[in-house]
Amino acid sequence: MRYDVLIIGAGPGGIFSAYELTKLDKTLKIAVIEAGNVLEKRICPIDGRNIKSCVNCETCAIMRGFGGAGAFSDGKYNITNDFGGTLHEYIGRNTAIELMEYVDEINCRFGGAGTKMYSTAKSAMKKKCMQNKLKLLDARVRHLGTDINYIVLGNIYDELKDKVDFYFNTAIQSIEKMEDGYRVRSEKPESGSEHAEEKVFEGDKCIISVGRSGSKWMESVCSELDIPTKSNRVDLGVRVELPAVIFEDITDELYEGKIVYRTEKFEDRVRTFCMNPNGIVVSENTNGIVTVNGHSFEDENRKTENTNFALLVAKHFSEPFKDSNEYGESIARLSNMLGGGVIVQRFGDLERGRRSVQKRIDEGTVRPTLNATPGDLSLVLPKRLMDGIIEMIYALDKIAPGVANDDTLLYGVEVKFYNMEVQLDNNLETIHKGLYVIGDGSGVTHSLSHASASGVYVARHIAGKYR
């Protein structure tokens, strides 16, 4: 199976590089190799009734498959260089913004046209934040919503399926450098597996776009091919859930406000992340570790009365311990050990130094949208992080009174793992010519828009070489 370009991973990075390559050069033979399933077969068994928590499937339907980790996400495409990755450091600020706008055009063309674009420009909230020691970061955000995001992905797949060879349920295990390109080999399926046999592909060029779920594998590739890497950070915290009305001044105007607070005690930066107005809190499984996240929907019928968002603190380790992800995993494991999965606690209980119990949660005014175990988050998160989060809740209470109410729910832990940063040049090419690493797997991006833009960028670079 010889190709011009091999693309490993069918998340936004892989999809947009395939899309752009097919558009720029119709003669190219392209393979997209994906560990997970086709979009319509990506079904998580958790139904909230019979199966309430993660059963550790062989391939996580939430994180893997066509659409990648973003397939069931809220579909918020932020057009900004202020957060979501450091792509602009490689390709320049203007190019990065142009490519994110281009990705937005494509998303609109494939089904997202009726969705709303929000902007922080001229927002009154910016001043209110400043007056209360908070900083609102600048961005425009296209909110596709989980349902429209799914439709857009389905339409893009229909566009690509006859132009590109897709191989699903095919996890690549090794990459070998040859004189004229790269040879990649898939994992041997377990005996009795319904999936096909081991496969070998060869390509002139190879784009690796394996996202967060492929982080461990990416590390092994870098070590085998002597590609230098740098350790990256980990973000740790909780997901806050409260009545949507409390936060509506922010969410109605901005949909998602990225707000940063510098704590008085430790001068740490705590930030809001992934706001889901009228959304739901969900659990997610990364390599067997259950953490918390959030979704929201465009469809009025699926909206809830609550808004959720994460409060995160970044941690970066260097010497003698430098595995920031391992630190995050250990804390998530501790929470899984105490709660059997995600833990939920009322803010009032946290402040009074007691664990939450089901009765107090049931009596509260906020109805939880995730069935989590009532517990005590202060036994899980280190004091420094917990203090920062509590300080931030009181700071937010000044711009949105009610955030610090006793019944506000905190779910833990939320962890944002970042891949180690792979050494890349300005073409996102490794020290090996023709081997590119894009998207979240490179450590350069950590968002839908940046990952997608990195795919378009590399595709243009490769197509230029053929023309």
Ligand X SMILES: Cc1cc2nc3c(=O)[nH]c(=O)nc-3n(C[C@H](O)[C@H](O)[C@H](O)COP(=O)(O)OP(=O)(O)OC[C@H]3O[C@@H](n4cnc5c(N)ncnc54)[C@H](O)[C@@H]3O)c2cc1C
Residues lying near ligand X in the complex (CB under 6 A) are found at: 8-14, 33-36, 64-65, 68-70, 73-76, 78, 84, 171-172, 209-214, 217, 274, 284, 293, 439-441, 446-449, 451
For residue 413, say if its preceding peptide bond is cis, omega within 30 degrees of 0: yes
Q: Nearest approach, Cβ of 445 to ligand X (angstroms)?
A: 6
Whichever of 283 and 356 has its CB closer to ligand X, that residue is 283
Q: If you count them, how many residues does the chain have?
A: 467
Helix, strand, coil percent values for the chain (each to nearest 5): 35, 25, 40
CB neighbours of 107 closer than 8 A, spacing ≥ 6? 77, 142, 144, 152
Whichever of 12 and 154 has its CB closer to ligand X, that residue is 12
> Within 10 Å of residue 158's Cβ, how many Cβ atoms?
10
Whichever of 306 and 449 has its CB closer to ligand X, that residue is 449
Strand, helix or coil at 286?
strand
Whichever of 263 and 445 has its CB closer to ligand X, that residue is 445
Q: At what angle do helices 12-24 and 145-160 cross, to 10 degrees?
A: 40
Q: Nearest approach, Cβ of 384 to ligand X (angstroms)?
A: 26
C-alpha distances (whole Å) from 58 to each of 237, 337, 391, 464 are 28, 21, 40, 39
Whichever of 189 and 382 has its CB closer to ligand X, that residue is 189
Whichever of 172 and 343 has its CB closer to ligand X, that residue is 172
Q: Nearest approach, Cβ of 398 to ligand X (angstroms)?
A: 27
Q: Nearest approach, Cβ of 117 to ligand X (angstroms)?
A: 14
Token pair listed for 379: 């036994």
Q: Nearest approach, Cβ of 298 to ligand X (angstroms)?
A: 13
**Of the candidates 343, 409, 418, 415, which has an alpha carbon nearest to the alpha carbon of residue 385?**
415
Whichever of 214 and 412 has its CB closer to ligand X, that residue is 214
Strand, helix or coil at 441?
helix
Whichever of 172 and 385 has its CB closer to ligand X, that residue is 172
236 forms beta bridges with 313, 415
Q: Nearest approach, Cβ of 450 to ligand X (angstroms)?
A: 7
Q: Nearest approach, Cβ of 118 to ligand X (angstroms)?
A: 13
Sign of the dihedral through C-alpha 10, 15, 21, 22? positive
**Of the candidates 68, 69, 49, 154, which has an alpha carbon nearest to the alpha carbon of residue 107?**
154
User: Cα–Cα distance between 296 and 244 in angstroms, integer?
Assistant: 12
Whether residue 380 contacts residue 350, with contact meaning beta carbons closer than 8 Å, is answered with no
Q: Nearest approach, Cβ of 300 to ligand X (angstroms)?
A: 19
Q: Nearest approach, Cβ of 31 to ligand X (angstroms)?
A: 11
Q: Nearest approach, Cβ of 84 to ligand X (angstroms)?
A: 6
C-alpha distances (whole Å) from 249 to each of 126, 213, 254, 260, 384 are 12, 35, 9, 17, 30
Strand, helix or coil at 325?
helix
234 forms beta bridges with 315, 417
Whichever of 257 and 374 has its CB closer to ligand X, that residue is 257
Whichever of 71 and 125 has its CB closer to ligand X, that residue is 71
